[in-house]
Amino acid sequence: MEKLIITAAITGAELNKKLCPVLPTTPEEQGLASHESVEAGASIIHLHVRDDQGNPSQKLEHFQRSVDAIKKACKKTPVIQFSTGGAVGEAMEKRIASLALKPEMASFNLGTMNFGEEIFVNTFEDMRRLAEAFKKHQVVPEFEIYDAGHIDNLKKLIKEGWVQAPYHCQFVLGVPGAMSGDISGLIYLVEHLPKDSTWGVAGIGRFELPLAIHAMLMGGNVRVGLEDNIYYEKGKLASSNAQLISRIARIAKELGRDIASPEEARKQLNLP
């Protein structure tokens, strides 16, 4: 098996400090959270940013200041993966704009879905525009798959020539409104990936840990972090992103799965 790539989803766009007091929202907090996450074993930081009031932002200046803070704080520079998903309801134009900063990677959401009580809109037209921007700025996409049909959407984009291999896929499972985090669902998704794919799993809430453990055994990669799950165990809030990542690193070691450094992750994912 290849080395385990751990992605730290440190902030997200749907949470705030009232719900999660340790959520890193300022650039300095995100720098520290990234440093601790990388030291704990993460090689990719999935990045959402906030404005001065702590609200979700897709502005270039807010991405740039967080990137600077993360690079300054980390001894080994992680792959910084921008979110083009943003917060539910954000305009596609704003979601695409940050690609102009040419991050090493960015998320690419593969379909419209219920997202809790809201609707997360990603039409085919949106996806084609997004694909064009990824190509223009030479950013490597990570395909976010929340539902079985999203794999078919990816295959349609491949067939139409909008995206090229290798395909880095992240199964985000357990969002209310999309596929749940059952292990049988994960197995189905892995079996239906297009050729030349790598994959990881981000379990939402209580699905985070069991899905991560199964992914490690199946040869996949893992995403954890406060964006996906604010609890360390039932009824007990996590104390930091690093606490969640350290647990994954400990289990990986017990399972005999070596952990990729940022440099090794770049090689495994063929990042330029």
Residues that bind ligand KMH (CB under 6 A): 12-14, 83-85, 87-88, 107, 109, 115, 120, 144
- Taking the complex as a whole, the smallest distance from the CB of residue 150 to Zn ion amounts, in Å, to 15
- Taking the complex as a whole, the smallest distance from the CB of residue 17 to ligand KMH amounts, in Å, to 17
**Per DSSP, which regions of 75-209 are E strands?**
79-82, 105-109, 113-115, 118-120, 140-145, 167-173, 197-203
Instruction: Tabulate helix, strand, coil % of the chain (nearest 5).
Output: 40, 20, 40
**Residue with smaller CB distance to Zn ion, 12 or 257:** 12
14: partner contacted, choices ligand KMH, Zn ion, none (Cβ within 5-8 A by kind): ligand KMH
Torsion over CA: 125, 129, 132, 134 (sign) = negative
109: partner contacted, choices Zn ion, ligand KMH, none (Cβ within 5-8 A by kind): ligand KMH
Tell me: does residue 83 bind Zn ion (CB under 5 A).
yes
**Residue with smaller CB distance to ligand KMH, 37 or 109:** 109
Rounded distance, CA 46 to CA 180, Å? Answer: 21
Which of 20, 49, 92 minimizes the C-alpha distance to 241? 20
**Residue with smaller CB distance to ligand KMH, 200 or 252:** 200
Which of 85, 87, 28, 71 minimizes the C-alpha distance to 52? 28
**Residue with smaller CB distance to Zn ion, 96 or 257:** 96
Rounded distance, CA 50 to CA 63, Å? Answer: 8
**Residue with smaller CB distance to ligand KMH, 30 or 107:** 107
- Taking the complex as a whole, the smallest distance from the CB of residue 109 to ligand KMH amounts, in Å, to 5
- Taking the complex as a whole, the smallest distance from the CB of residue 172 to ligand KMH amounts, in Å, to 7
Q: Position of tokens 């490597």?
A: 140
Stretch that binds Zn ion, among 21-29, 80-88, 171-179, 208-216 (CB under 5 A): 80-88
Which DSSP symbol is given to 99?
A: G
120: partner contacted, choices Zn ion, ligand KMH, none (Cβ within 5-8 A by kind): ligand KMH
Stretch that binds Zn ion, among 70-78, 81-89, 164-172, 237-245 (CB under 5 A): 81-89
Angle at 67 between CA 259 and CA 171, to 5 degrees: 50
> Terminal CA-to-CA distance of the chain, rounded, Å?
22
- Taking the complex as a whole, the smallest distance from the CB of residue 12 to ligand KMH amounts, in Å, to 6
- Site residues (CB under 5 A) for Zn ion? 83
